[in-house]
Amino acid sequence: MIPDESEEQRIIRIARALCRSARIDPDAAIDERTRHLLREVYHSPAEGLPAWMAFRASARDFASRYPREIVSSL
């Protein structure tokens, strides 16, 4: 039996897909194109964070609205 994906892993997977759909490399560092997308407040500067982190809040919202089956292929 395959263990269920954790909610955190699901959010990361969705955030990475959203980042790719914006034509941004998810593993690239946050820059001027992605900084404005950050909705969460970070205690440290955003520099050095991967770009997919800018889509984390949107991914969390998406994950809460749609069942796992909808985004299983992302």
Determine if the pTM surpasses 0.75: no
Query: pLDDT grade, residue 32 (50/70/90)?
Result: confident
Give how far Cα 40 sits from Cα of 20, 62, 68, 72, 74, Å: 20, 16, 24, 25, 23
**pLDDT tens for residues 5-15?**
688 998 999 99
The residue extents of the domains of the chain are 7-71
